[in-house]
């Protein structure tokens, strides 16, 4: 990013002790070209009922986070050790610096009186899907509630993990990812979401807002509940890996990406007859969108050329739609389907064949094509 962000004053809520997210977010702001940054660093507190238990292996190596005060000094960033509930002191800092937007790199609950100080609001990056994983233990609630893991970027209000959603980014799951890997990938998504947000701000774009319906927040989990979630993780991982992979396959078919389709089917060949929400197969999607290279790829992998949708609409019926009444239409895709066994005479739940629909559309040229394919012309 260029220095287009320069001159935009931002307050970073952080901790006044070594804290990975606080320091990483500060570095992201500086790397984005921001110069007017005020770090509001909350002093360390001894929390009651904090869970120090370890529920999965921690083998990934991370360098120790730097001291925030020292990091700010080296970067030339204004540093303020201040309680995040101190609206008087924060108000003085914000007015003096001209900050209009707050970003949370590290914070506990920020009260409404502090949020209201910022003309543009305060943005948080919650490590989970809101409202399902509001509060602490977001990852464990993701597994328990059987929802995707990821990052909810949102404007906060006086409630915990509520306000207005900007976007939700889902963490991609690998078939053998450990809990540790899933959580680490989710953390990386927080930094990527911050970068995207800063690009929008630098370009003067509008940040989207969608109200979050969060009737209540989740209570912190007990150790037993966390262990139960750990036990559910393998099945949760398998479900979400399959869902994401199938979604990627359908996106590749709709976008006309044969190499991507082949790569997905190399690792997950059984998904070739998967169904989407419309009950379409990958071949139906590729055929409807006239992506001949993808159709060839799917047929070579054994896709069913006679597959039909929920109402019996065949692949051929879908494939002919965008070709109807088009001058000089290329029928090679139809040729491939018929050569692969697509039944020209098949009828849907309404008792109609592809020929019936072609005649009803008044496409005489295509009607002659299908008559020929049936040996009737």
**What's the CATH number where 297 sits?**
1.25.40.20
Q: Is residue 234 part of a domain?
A: no
Tokens representing 184? 């680490």
Same structural domain for residues 155 and 282? no
Same structural domain for residues 190 and 265? no
Same structural domain for residues 257 and 357? yes
Name the CA radius of gyration of the chain, rounded: 27
Same structural domain for residues 44 and 165? yes
Same structural domain for residues 21 and 165? yes
Q: For residue 374, what pLDDT is reported?
A: 84
Domain boundary among 191, 221, 251: 221
Q: Is residue 227 part of a domain?
A: no
Same structural domain for residues 289 and 362? yes
Same structural domain for residues 163 and 269? no
Give the C-alpha separation, 258 to 262, whole Å. 6
Range of the domain at 353: 241-373
Q: For residue 6, what pLDDT is reported?
A: 41
Q: For residue 46, what pLDDT is reported?
A: 73
Q: For residue 47, what pLDDT is reported?
A: 64
Beta carbons within 8 Å of 2's beta carbon, 6+ residues apart: 33, 202
Compute mean pLDDT per 10 residues along the chain, 377 residues long, and list them: 54 97 97 95 79 84 94 96 97 96 94 95 96 93 97 92 93 96 97 96 88 88 95 98 97 98 95 96 98 97 96 97 94 96 95 96 95 78
Phi, then psi, of 51 in degrees rounded to 5: -95, 115
Same structural domain for residues 43 and 167? yes
Q: For residue 58, what pLDDT is reported?
A: 85
Q: Is residue 334 part of a domain?
A: yes
CB 1 within 8 A of CB 30: no
Tokens representing 249? 């396959």
Same structural domain for residues 311 and 172? no
Q: For residue 205, what pLDDT is reported?
A: 85
Domain count, the chain: 2
Same structural domain for residues 59 and 123? yes
Residue for token digits 């899933």?
Answer: 182
Q: Is residue 9 part of a domain?
A: yes
Give the C-alpha separation, 254 to 304, whole Å. 17
Q: How open is the CA angle 184-186-188, to the nearest 5 degrees?
A: 75
Q: For residue 75, what pLDDT is reported?
A: 96
Residue 15 belongs to domain with CATH number: 3.40.50.170
Same structural domain for residues 245 and 216? no
Question: For 37, how many CA atoms within 13 A lie in the half-sphere containing its CB?
Answer: 30
Same structural domain for residues 155 and 28? yes
């Amino acid at each position: 990013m260029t220095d287009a962000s320069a001159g935009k004053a931002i307050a970073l809520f952080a901790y006044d002790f070594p804290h990975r997210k606080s320091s990483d977010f500060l570095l992201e702001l500086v790397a984005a070209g921001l110069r007017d940054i005020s770090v509001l660093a909350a002093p360390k507190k001894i929390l009651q009922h904090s869970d120090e238990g370890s529920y999965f292996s921690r083998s990934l190596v991370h360098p120790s986070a730097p001291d925030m005060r020292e990091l700010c000094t080296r970067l030339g960033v204004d540093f303020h050790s201040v309680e995040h509930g101190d609206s008087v002191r924060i108000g003085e800092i914000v007015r003096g610096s001209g900050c209009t937007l707050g970003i949370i790199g590290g914070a506990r609950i920020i009260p409404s009186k502090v949020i209201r100080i910022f003309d543009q609001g305060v943005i948080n990056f919650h490590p989970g899907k809101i409202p399902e994983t509001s509060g602490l233990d977001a990852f464990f609630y993701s597994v328990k509630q059987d929802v995707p893991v990821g990052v909810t970027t949102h404007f906060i209000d006086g409630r915990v993990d509520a306000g207005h959603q900007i976007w939700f980014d889902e963490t991609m799951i690998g078939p053998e990812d450990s809990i540790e890997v899933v959580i680490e990938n989710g953390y990386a998504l927080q930094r990527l979401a911050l970068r995207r947000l800063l690009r929008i701000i630098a370009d003067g774009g509008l940040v989207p807002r969608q109200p979050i319906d969060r009737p209540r927040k989740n209570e912190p989990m007990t150790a037993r509940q966390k262990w139960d979630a750990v036990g559910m993780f393998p099945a949760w991982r398998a479900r979400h890996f399959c869902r994401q992979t199938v979604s990627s396959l359908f996106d590749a078919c709709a976008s006309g990406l044969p190499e991507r389709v082949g790569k997905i089917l190399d690792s997950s060949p059984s998904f070739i007859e998967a169904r989407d929400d419309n009950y379409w197969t990958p071949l139906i999607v590729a055929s409807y969108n006239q992506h001949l290279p993808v159709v060839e790829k799917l047929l070579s992998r054994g896709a069913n050329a006679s597959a039909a949708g929920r109402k019996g609409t065949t692949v051929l019926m879908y494939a002919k739609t965008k070709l109807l009444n088009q001058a000089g239409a290329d029928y090679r895709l139809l040729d491939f389907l018929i050569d692969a066994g697509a039944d020209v005479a098949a009828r849907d739940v309404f008792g109609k064949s592809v020929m019936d629909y072609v005649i009803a559309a008044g496409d005489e040229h295509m009607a002659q094509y299908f008559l020929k394919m049936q040996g009737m012309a």
